[in-house]
Amino acid sequence: MASATLFFQLMLIVSLFHFSLAARRLTEQVQEQAQLLQYHNGPLLSGEISVNLIWYGNFKPSQRAIISDFVSSLSTSPALEQTTQSQPSVATWWKTTEKYYHLASPKKHPSLSLKMGKQILDNYSLGKSLTGKQIVELAAKGGQKNAINIVLTASDVTVQGFCSSRCGTHGSSWSSQVKSKSYKFAYIWVGNSETQCPGHCAWPFHQPIYGPQTPPLVAPNNDVGMDGMVINLASLFAGTVTNPFGNGYFQGRAEAPLEVASACPGVYGKGAYPGYAGQLLVDPSTGASYNAYGANGRKYLLPALFDPSTSSCSTLV
C-alpha cells in the first residue's frame, strides 16, 4: 500500500508540474537538474535578520509563547541545538531553506541568521476589520532594516481576503527614511482562524471544509487556532527567505507564486495524500500529532518543504 501511495504521489507531481522522469535521475547534477522553483535572480535575505512580532488584538501570554518559541526554534546556533536535544527539530526543518542559498550563489554561500527582535502589542488601533494596506501599515511598526516583521491578527479580526482566498501572506515594503536612505523590509501576516475558518486554515487540527472528512488531529500545543497559525507562519517564513522581494525562488505568476512550502500542500509526513497529513509522531500522554521539537520543550507540526537537491517534498518524519 505504501509503495502504491508513493507511486501515485510521484505521478501526481509529474503530471502537475510537467517534470520528466529522465530529469529526475540527474539530481546529483545541479546544473542539469529540472528545478520546480525557478530562480529569478533577485536578492535573498542574508546576514543577521531581526524577527519582530506585532500582535494585533487579544492574545493570551500562553498563546504568544507558542509563536515566539517557534521563532526562537528557527535558530541554527550550536547553543540552541544543544538545548533542543530531541530530533527531528524545527532547526533541522529550517535547514532545507539553506539549499536555495547554495544554488543561488554556488561559489559564495550567503548566510542568514535569525534573531528574535521586539514584540509589539496593539489593542485594535485600526479596528477589527483590516485591509491589505493596513496590514503593511502595522508591519511597518517593526524594524525597517534587516528585518522580518510578522503581523498576527486575533481570532475576532477580519482581514481582506482572509478565509476566502488565503490564511496569510508575505511581501515587502519600503521603509521610511533611515539616515537619508530607504530600505526594503520583509513582512508576514497570519490570522488566527479558530472561529472564522478552522476547516480551511487550521487543518489538520479541524475537520476540512471540503474533501475527505477524516477525524481531526489533536493540536500539539492544545490550541487549534495557534497551532494552525504555526503551520501557516512556517510556510510563509520559508517563502519569505527564499522569495523575499518577489524575484527569488518561485514558479508561476509573481502575484500568486508557487513557493518552497506551497509547492507541497497538505504534506506533513511520509505517505501523505489529500485528506491525510501523513505518518506523524504522536504524544502518548496527550494524543497530539507533531513532527518537530522546538525550544522550551515545544512540539510543532510543520509543512513539508520542496527540496531542490531531490526534487521532492521533504518531510521530517
Q: How far is CA 73 from the centre of its chain?
A: 13
- pLDDT (0 to 100) of residue 186: 96
- Confidence at residue 53, expressed as pLDDT on a 0 to 100 scale: 98
Cell readout for 274 is 489529500
What pLDDT, on the 0 to 100 scale, is given for residue 182?
Answer: 78
Q: Which three cell numbers stand for residue 314?
A: 521533504
Cα(31)–Cα(309) distance, rounded to whole angstroms? Answer: 11
Residue 25 is predicted with a pLDDT of: 29
CA contacts within 13 A on the Cβ side of 185: 28
CA distance 126 to 57: 10
CA 144 from chain centre, in angstroms, equals 21
Bridge partners of residue 52, in order along the sequence: 149
**Residues contacting residue 50 through CB under 8 Å, at least 6 positions apart:** 115, 116, 117, 118, 142, 143, 146, 147, 148
The reported pLDDT for the residue numbered 145 is: 87
The enclosing H or E element of 67 equals: helix 61-73
The per-residue pLDDT for 13 is 38
The pLDDT assigned to 105 comes to 83
Give the span between the Cα atoms of 188 and 169, in whole angstroms: 6
Exposure string (b/e) for 125-141, b if CB count within 10 Å is 16 or more?
eeeeebeeebbbebbbb
E runs forming strands in 162-265? 168-174, 184-191, 249-250
Give the model's pLDDT for residue 36.
84
State how far the Cα of 305 lies from the Cα of 121, in Å rounded to an integer: 31
pLDDT of residue 106: 78
pLDDT at site 200: 94
Where the chain has pLDDT below 50, the residues are 1-34, 78, 82, 84
Q: What is the pLDDT of residue 177?
A: 59
**DSSP strand pairing (184-191 vs 147-153):** parallel
pLDDT of residue 77: 57
